[in-house]
Amino acid sequence: MIPIQNIYYLLCYAWDKLEEKERVKVSGVAGENLVNLFARVFVQGLERLFRQGLEKGYVLQSETTSRIRGKIDFGASIKQNLLQQGKVQCEYDDFQLNILPNQLIKSTIFQLLRTDGLVDEWRHKLRQFERLLQPVQVIQVQKYHFTQVRLQKHQYAYFFLLKIGALVHENLLPLEEDGRYEFASFWKQDQPMQRLFEKFIYNFYRYHHVQTPFETVKREYLRWDVTDSLNETSVRFLPRMQTDTSLISHQQKRRLIIETKFTPHTFQVHYQKESIRSEHLYQLFAYLQSEQYSNAYLDWKTEGILLYPRVKEVPTVVNWIKGKKLRVCTINLNQDWEGIEGDLLDML
């Protein structure tokens, strides 16, 4: 099991919000209760947001009135026979709090308050903020709502709150009791954790590459080594090759590709014999043999790592295939965070 605080740190790296790692203390949240972790983070983010001040925006309003305000909607006015009553239908922009970012924040509070396992401390504080957001409407949240929000740099306090809100929305499961939820154990699901693990590793080395021999960390699109006779239509059907993390040292002429794989078992088993997962090995070897490496970096030292979370003690496997060094490594996520940082740096 991954400790609660480590899940939070993984998220801070994956979301590129490393400053939140130190800003919010999560060591007091025990067990697997993620709803209390996110409630704590959300409350502390709300405190910061209210100190900074809630954003307002223009919201289009429509009103039947005897005094012209904004723009007259002649079509609606005629259809409703308002002109004969000395009235018109007007549309105008009203500067108010009831804008999408605030609606998503209040709706997240609404969902957290109805999630099983929430302790009284965070329930009480969330209710206080719910009252402070009284002018803001609770909406039926959809995933696309979070992609519609456009924030400016000065609205930093909103960024992290909306990240938490999106994660809460994606992982709430409705219960038989009407209007109640439970939080899904997303860290036990391979697909969400694969994306999280991949982004964590990439951003970890982006932040800490100065402590390594590498000057550059990036993702790369690699080209297939195709012959000139292969037509453009055929090339279009080749799968795209993009590395999870590429570390580059121009000084040492060294290149390292790290492919992250979040699976319940590091090795595949066939007739009680453990071996490297073939599809993972073929993928990494194709990256190392790509045209970009064989031409542009012909005299470079090129290596590859398949990186898995550790589920049990497994050896580091090293193989040389066609002059390319390939390693299978694991990282223990069930340890103190300082140990995780040290192991990832030592791996290079």
Spatial CA neighbour of 112 closest among 205, 53, 35, 167: 35
Q: What is the pLDDT of residue 202?
A: 97
> Is residue 91 within a helix (H) or strand (E), and if so which, with residue range?
strand 88-96
Q: Which residues contact 190 (CB under 8 A, 6 or more apart)?
A: 262, 263, 264
Whether 113 and 259 map to the same domain: the answer is: no
- DSSP 8-state class, residue 312: S
Whether 160 and 217 map to the same domain: the answer is: no
Last residue of one domain, picked from the residues 140, 169, 186: 186
3-state secondary structure of 252: coil
Model confidence over 59-105: pLDDT tens digits? 888 888 888 888 888 888 888 898 888 898 888 888 889 999 999 99
The average pLDDT across 188-195 equals 75
Model confidence over 292-348: pLDDT tens digits? 555 667 788 889 999 998 866 666 777 777 778 899 999 998 888 999 999 999 998
Whether 31 and 164 map to the same domain: the answer is: yes
Whether 47 and 68 map to the same domain: the answer is: no
Model confidence over 276-290: pLDDT tens digits? 888 888 899 888 887
Residue 22 has pLDDT above 80, yes or no: no
Which CA distances in Å does 276 have to 242, 305, 311? 21, 12, 15
Whether 180 and 143 map to the same domain: the answer is: yes
Write out the residue range of the structural domain in which residue 33 sits.
4-54+101-186
Tokens at residue 138, please? 């609770």
Whether 246 and 147 map to the same domain: the answer is: no
Q: What is the pLDDT of residue 314?
A: 67
**DSSP symbols for 143-165:** HHHHHH----GGGHHHHHHHHHH
Domain count, the chain: 3
Strands 267-270 and 273-276: antiparallel
Tokens at residue 129, please? 């903020």
Whether 199 and 320 map to the same domain: the answer is: yes
List Cβ<8 Å contacts ≥24 apart for 309-314: 309/2, 309/197, 309/262, 309/333, 310/266, 310/334, 311/264, 311/265, 311/266, 314/266, 314/267
Last residue of one domain, picked from the residues 186, 203, 226: 186
Residues 63/92, Cβ–Cβ less than 8 Å: yes
Q: What percentage of the chain exceeds 90 in pLDDT?
A: 38
Q: What is the pLDDT of residue 311?
A: 63
Whether 136 and 179 map to the same domain: the answer is: yes
pLDDT bracket for residue 34 (50, 70, 90):
confident
Whether 40 and 164 map to the same domain: the answer is: yes
Model confidence over 263-278: pLDDT tens digits? 877 777 777 777 788 8
Q: Which residues contact 248 (CB under 8 A, 6 or more apart)?
A: 214, 215, 216, 217, 218, 254, 255, 256
Residues 315/275, Cβ–Cβ less than 8 Å: no
Nearest-5° Cα angle at 250, 248 to 254: 55
- DSSP 8-state class, residue 6: H
Whether 29 and 114 map to the same domain: the answer is: yes
**What is the dihedral sign for C-alpha 92, 97, 99, 103?**
negative
Average pLDDT for the chain? 85
CA-CA distance, 229 to 309, in Å (whole number)? Answer: 42
pLDDT bracket for residue 207 (50, 70, 90):
very high
Q: What is the 3-state secondary structure (H, E, C) of 200-226?
A: HHHHHHHHHHHHCCCCEEECCEECCCC
Q: What is the pLDDT of residue 153?
A: 79
CA-CA distance, 268 to 157, in Å (whole number)? Answer: 44
Model-level pTM? 0.82
Q: What is the pLDDT of residue 59?
A: 87
Last residue of one domain, picked from the residues 96, 124, 158: 96
Model confidence over 223-275: pLDDT tens digits? 777 765 556 667 777 788 899 999 999 889 899 999 999 887 777 777 777 77
Q: What is the pLDDT of residue 267?
A: 73
pLDDT bracket for residue 189 (50, 70, 90):
low
Whether 165 and 309 map to the same domain: the answer is: no
Model confidence over 105-163: pLDDT tens digits? 999 999 999 999 899 999 999 999 999 999 999 999 998 999 999 888 778 889 999 99
Whether 212 and 325 map to the same domain: the answer is: yes
Residue 31 has pLDDT above 60, yes or no: no
